[in-house]
Structure 1
């Protein structure tokens, strides 16, 4: 039996090269390459988080309908943060009565920032005491 003669196809080398390139791309970066640099995850300081929480819930509770209700744990506050909220809200209600709602909202921002910064300034990096939950 005579060996079959194959006629070379001009597209065969091109198809082989494309298949090789596709398989290399599918495997991802090589062993020595570094991953692409992406954005770093953002962190929020305990002071900023406290301020955001107090401002949010004080404005909520200052609404004419009394806000969403709930207790400090439902608000995601520690006991100490709740004490700040209670004090700031009491001052804001007086400010609203004397100078209007815009003045009360500004007072909330100002007092929450000052009280939260004061609260966490002496605590270092961790908002929780060694024994457990933040106070």
Structure 2
């Protein structure tokens, strides 16, 4: 039994240390992981990130706002931006700054909208 425990500890240490000398890269955090940004910047980053992912056709991402870390307001804005982007893309190429500009305009409205004070953890009381 002690030998089994010793082998388990050695394997666990090897996994944590990155056995084989290869560097392991952590997955890049999505904008939802950065809480230190101001609300406008955070919102814009989220909409640009998820808009880019969804418009390029990343599998399994579109449609789950909770997975994306978005509020209902942000998700509604994202869907509207994506719908308009697809119309433009059907006629040609999307201008490079279009998604950023649309996200900023939407987020300015979202951030300026008063939030209800009778909520706990985002849920009405």
Q: Same fold (TM over 0.5)?
A: yes
TM-score (normalizing by structure 1): 0.56
Whole-angstrom CA distance in 2 between matches of 1:59 and 1:68: 12
1:2-40 C-alpha deviation (Å, 9 max, x unpaired): xxxxxxxxxxxxxxxxxxxxxxxxxxxxxxxxxxxxxxx
Whole-angstrom CA distance in 2 between matches of 1:68 and 1:77: 18
SS at match of 2:116: coil
SS at match of 2:66: coil
TM-score (normalizing by structure 2): 0.60
Matches within 5 A, 1:1-135: 43-63=36-56, 66-70=57-61, 71-101=64-94, 103=95, 105-123=96-114, 128-132=115-119, 133=122
Over the aligned positions, Cα root-mean-square deviation in angstroms equals 2.0
Q: Which runs of 5+ in 1 are unaligned?
A: 1-41
SS at match of 2:68: coil
Whole-angstrom CA distance in 1 between matches of 2:68 and 2:113: 24
- Structure number with greater Rg is 1
4+ aligned runs moved over 6 Å, structure 1: none
Q: Between Structure 1 and Structure 2, which shows a larger proportion of helix residues?
A: 2
Whole-angstrom CA distance in 2 between matches of 1:57 and 1:76: 10
Q: Is the 8 A contact 1:61 1:69 kept in 2?
A: no
- Between the two proteins, the alignment pairs up a number of residues equal to 85
SS at match of 1:74: helix
Whole-angstrom CA distance in 2 between matches of 1:45 and 1:97: 34
